[in-house]
Amino acid sequence: MRDASLARRLVRHRGALVGLLILGALVLMAIAAPWLSPRDPIKTAPRTALRPPGATYWLGSDQLGRDVASRVLHGARISLTVGLIAVSIAVAIGTPVGLVSGFYGGRLDAFIMRVIDVLLAFPGILLALAIVSVLTPGLTNVMIAVGLSAVPTYARLVRGSVLSARENLYVEAARALGSRDPSILVRYILPNVVAPLVVTATLGLGTAILAAAALSFLGLGSQPPLPEWGRMLSEGRDYLREAWWISTFPGLGIMLTVLAMNLLGDGLRDVLDPRLKP
């Protein structure tokens, strides 16, 4: 009952609707990439390199003659997957940590908060950079690095929700009635956590995609010939003057994906709990 009206409210929210539509289109592109692509994204065709967008190459061809349109389509797959896995790692690790920390409190909580403070002392992408510097460059390691570097944020978020939920009277009542910890966690605490978690994870998906693309742009992520958007942007850099399309379209792809996530995330926040607005 609640879910139905939730979905309806979400769809009625203008921003969320736009976000959903864009996201839907992107997911469709990603899934259907092999069938939608006019050409093999990896196949080089040196004699038709650097062609501007036109009839033969819809979004132009890059420095090795590869079809930019096909590469952008396949890149959607990669970026969405990377973002999803990174956020899943962050949620999978951050949630239990936050739950335990918030619910049990005491020395454990204090220690965990210290660790989180230390991890958050590395601003922005610095933590992911530090992690990637230890592992070898590669797309899998970028996913891990971005995911791990987001763990403190989710842990803190979950802990905060748990703390506020813990104070509720009905939790005390449940305890007084003899309910055991795990069932209290599941029945009273968890529902409080879900809403902010979903909002943050949706917005976090956008952040993760940006971070992964940034790491690939710096040369620390995907390896050739993978048509990953961040890589494509950096490859196109040398050809900016002569072939602007090589960098422009992947960048557009990244922006649209993150935009969709932001719209959706904002919409979810408005619908689920307007109090969450900063």
Partner 1 sequence: MRRSCPWRWFASFVALTLLTLMAPMVPTAAGQAPGTLVLGLDQEPPTLDPHASPSAVTYQIIASVTENLVYKGADGKLVPWLAESWTTSKDGRSVTFKLRRDVKFHDGTPFNADAVKFNFDRIVDPKFKAGGSRAALAGYAGSKVLDEFSVQVSFETPFAPFLTYAASGPLSIVSPKAVRESGDLVHTRPIGTGQFMMKDYVAKDHTTMVRVADYKRKVPWSDRSGPAQLETVVWKFIPEAGTRVTTLESGETQGVYNVPAQSLPRLEGNQALRIEKAPWPGVPRIWLLNITKPPLDDVKVRRAINYAIDKDAFLATIYKGTALKAGAPLTAVMLDDPAVRRVAWPFDAAKAKALLGEAGWLPGSDGIRTKSGQRLEIVLNAIEYGGGPDPTAQIIQASLQEVGIDVKIKAQARPPWYEDNYRCATHGPVMFLRSTDPDGLFALFHSSLVGGNFNWSCVKNPKLDALLEQGRRESDPAKRRAIYVSIEQFAIEEALAVPLVDELSVWAYRSGVQGVKYNFNAYPILGDATLRK
Partner 2 sequence: MLTWILRRVLAVVPVLFGVTLAVFSMLFLVPGDPVKMMLAEFVTNPDQVAQMRAQLHLDEPILQQYGRFVANAARGDLGTSIRSRRPVITEIGENVASTAQLAVAAMLVAVGVGVPLGLLAALSRNSWLDVASMGTALLGVSMPSFWLGLLLIFVFSLHLTWFPATGGGDLRHLILPSITLGTIAAAIIARLTRSSMLEVLGQDYVRTARAKGLGGFSVVVRHALKNALIPIITIFGLQFGNLLAGAVIVETVFSRPGLGRLIVGGILSKDFPLVQGTVLFVATVYVLINLLVDVAYAYADPRIRLGRA
How many Cβ atoms are within 10 Å of 252's Cβ, its own excluded? 13
Q: Is 22 in the site for partner 1 (CB under 8 A)?
A: no
CA angle 70–71–73, rounded 5-degree value? 65
SS3 for 67? strand
Which of 123, 135, 127 is closest to 221 using CA atoms? 135
Binders of partner 1 in range 47-106 (CB under 8 A) = 47, 49-50, 63-65
Q: How far is the CB of 210 from partner 1 (least distance, A)?
A: 17
Q: Is 46 in the site for partner 1 (CB under 8 A)?
A: yes
How far is it, in rounded angstroms, from Cα 242 to Cα 101?
Answer: 55
Q: Is 14 in the site for partner 1 (CB under 8 A)?
A: no
Q: Is 114 in the site for partner 1 (CB under 8 A)?
A: no
Contacts of 85 (CB under 8 A, 6+ apart): 143, 147
Q: Is 212 in the site for partner 2 (CB under 8 A)?
A: no
Among 133, 168, 183, 223, binds partner 2 (CB under 8 A): 133
Q: Is 244 in the site for partner 1 (CB under 8 A)?
A: no
Among 164, 259, 270, 272, binds partner 2 (CB under 8 A): 259
The pattern of x and - marking residues 144 through 183 that bind partner 2 according to CB under 8 A reads: ----------------------------------------
**Please, are residues 26 and 80 in contact by the beta-carbon 8 Å criterion?**
yes
How many Cβ atoms are within 10 Å of 125's Cβ, its own excluded? 18
Q: Quick one: 108 or 240, whose CB is closer to partner 2?
A: 240
Among 43, 114, 175, 187, binds partner 1 (CB under 8 A): 43
**Please, are residues 258 and 251 in contact by the beta-carbon 8 Å criterion?**
no
Identify residue 242 by its one-letter amino acid code. E
Judged by CB under 8 A, which stretch of 90-98, 164-172, 191-199, 256-264 contacts partner 2? Answer: 256-264
- Helix, strand, coil content of the chain in percent (nearest 5): 75, 0, 25
Radius of gyration of the chain from its Cα atoms, rounded to whole angstroms: 22
Which of 121, 91, 47, 113 is closest to 202 using CA atoms? 91
Q: Quick one: 99 or 210, whose CB is closer to partner 2?
A: 210
Q: Is 237 in the site for partner 1 (CB under 8 A)?
A: yes
Which of 258, 251, 256 is closest to 217 using CA atoms? 251
Query: Is the bond into 278 cis (omega within 30 degrees of 0)?
Result: no
Q: Is 199 in the site for partner 2 (CB under 8 A)?
A: no
Q: How far is the CB of 152 from partner 2 (least distance, A)?
A: 12
Q: Quick one: 64 or 272, whose CB is closer to partner 1?
A: 64
Judged by CB under 8 A, which stretch of 153-161, 181-189, 203-211, 229-237 contacts partner 1? Answer: 229-237
Provide the binding-site residues for partner 1, judged by CB under 8 A.
42-44, 46-47, 49-50, 63-65, 137, 217-219, 223-225, 231, 234-235, 237-243
